[in-house]
Amino acid sequence: MGRAAKAIVYREGGPIAMEPIDVAPPKRDEITLKLAACGVCHSDLSATNGTVRMPPPLVLGHEGFGSVVEVGEGVAGFKVGDAVLTSFARMCGKCAACVSGHPARCEHAAEAFSTLPDGTVRTHDAKGEPLNVFCGLGAMAEYATIHVDNAIKVDAHGIPPASAAIVSCAVMTGVGSVTNTAKVEPGSRVAVFGLGGVGLNAVQGAVLAGAATIVAVDTNADKLAAAKRFGATDVVNAKEEDMVKAVRRLGRVDYGFECVGSGELVSQAYKCLAPGGTLVIVGVAPGKDQATFTPISMAMEERCIRGSTYGSARPQKDIPALLALYRGGRLKLDEMVTRTYSIDQGPQAFDDLKAGRNLRGVIVF
C-alpha cells in the first residue's frame, strides 16, 4: 500500500471524474511528489477526445508543481522538501538529442508517455487495477510518483503555487516557441494565432524578445482583451473579419505562431508571412489534419515553416530562468490564472476549459 490520494481520472468513454487512487512509493531513480497545484491544459483534454492517443484509464495532469516527500534508491539530485515542477517531456540527459542541447527531442521521451520509463505505473485505483499516467506524470493528483528525468528542481520562493505550476507547460511552451525555437529578433513583426494558455505566452515571449509589432488573433473577445494586457499591439477577431486580410492589412509578419492545432489555421497563417518569414507550428493538430501552401511562395519569398515542441525547452535551465523573470516583474503569471479549483471541482475545470472561460484554470491542493 502507498499513499491514498484523490486524482482526476479519465476512463474510456468518459466522463472525466475525481477518483480515489493509491500511489506506491518510488522505485530506483523515482521520487514521490505531494502536489500543490496543477494547471488544466488543452493537452489533457486531447487525451480524452482522441487527438492524443494515450490509453485509458489515465490519471490526467502534467502541469504540476509540488514538493518531494520521498526519494527512491539512487536519486542524487533531489531530497525531501525540494520544490519541483514537472516536465511532460522526459529528458534522459544521455542521448544524442539531450547532449546536443535539445532535450525536448529526447530519444527516450516516448518511454514515459503513459507510464513511467520502465513501462509500469505506481498508481492504482480503488480495486487495485493499474492506472496509466499522462506523460509519465499523472500530476492531477494529491500525490504522484515520477521518474527524476521528468522533474525540475526549482526555487519557487515567493511564487503562488498556481502561478508556478503553469510555467511547466503553458508558459515554457509559449515563451520558448518565440525565444528558443524562432529566436525572434528585436524589432520583428509577430502574429500569434490562437490565444489559449500557450498563445498568450507566445505573446509574452514576443514582448520579451523585443518584437515591435505583436498581432494577436482569436475568435474570443475576452482572450483578445487579455492579449492586449499581455503586450499585443494589435488584435484581430477572426470571427468578425477575414483573418488573413486583417493581418496583412496591418503588415505581413516576420514570425507567425500557430497555437491552436489546426491544419486549416496553419494554411491561413502561412499566408500572413512576409518574405523571409517563418511560421512556427506550436499547436498539436489531430493526425488527420493537412495544411497547404504553394511551394513557389516558399521558394521565391524564402519563407519557412517549422515546428516547436515544448518551446524547444532546456527545462533545467529555462524554467528557473522563467521563474526569475517573474520575480523581476517581467513575466506575468498571476494574471494568467483566472480561476482555481479544488480536486473535487476538477471535472468543472474541464467544462470551463472546453467553454474557454479561463485564461488558465488551475487545480490547487
Nearer to Zn ion, 24 or 95 (CB): 95
Window 101 to 140, contacts with Zn ion (CB under 5 A): 106
Nearer to Zn ion, 46 or 348 (CB): 46
235 counts as binding Zn ion under rule CB under 5 A: no
The long-range contacts involving 225-231, CB below 8 angstroms and separated by at least 24 positions, are 226/195, 226/200, 226/359, 227/192, 227/195, 227/199, 227/200, 227/203, 229/332, 229/335, 230/200, 230/203, 230/204, 230/332, 230/335, 231/203, 231/204, 231/206, 231/207
Distance CA 312, CA 318 (A): 10
**Least distance (Å) between residue 301 CB and Zn ion:** 33
**Least distance (Å) between residue 350 CB and Zn ion:** 13
Out of 92, 133, 266, 353, the residue judged to bind Zn ion by CB under 5 A: 92
Backbone angles phi, psi at 2, to 5 degrees: -110, -135
169 counts as binding Zn ion under rule CB under 5 A: yes
Distance CA 220, CA 250 (A): 20
**Least distance (Å) between residue 62 CB and Zn ion:** 6
Nearer to Zn ion, 41 or 121 (CB): 41
**Least distance (Å) between residue 143 CB and Zn ion:** 20
95 counts as binding Zn ion under rule CB under 5 A: yes
**Least distance (Å) between residue 94 CB and Zn ion:** 6
**Least distance (Å) between residue 254 CB and Zn ion:** 27
Q: 44, 85, 138: which is closest to 130 by C-alpha?
A: 138
In this chain, which stretch among 8-16, 46-54, 95-103, 177-185 interacts with Zn ion, using CB under 5 A?
Answer: 95-103
Nearer to Zn ion, 98 or 246 (CB): 98
Nearer to Zn ion, 98 or 171 (CB): 98
Distance CA 283, CA 119 (A): 27
Nearer to Zn ion, 196 or 277 (CB): 196
**Least distance (Å) between residue 117 CB and Zn ion:** 11
Q: What is the 3-state secondary structure (H, E, C) of 270-306?
A: HCCEEEEEEEEECCCCCCCCCCCCCHHHHHHHCCEEE
41 counts as binding Zn ion under rule CB under 5 A: yes
Place of cell 516576420: 254
45 counts as binding Zn ion under rule CB under 5 A: no
Nearer to Zn ion, 3 or 314 (CB): 314
Window 312 to 341, contacts with Zn ion (CB under 5 A): none
43 counts as binding Zn ion under rule CB under 5 A: yes
Distance CA 42, CA 284 (A): 10
Distance CA 162, CA 12 (A): 29
Distance CA 103, CA 91 (A): 5
Residues that bind Zn ion (CB under 5 A): 41, 43, 92, 95, 98, 106, 169
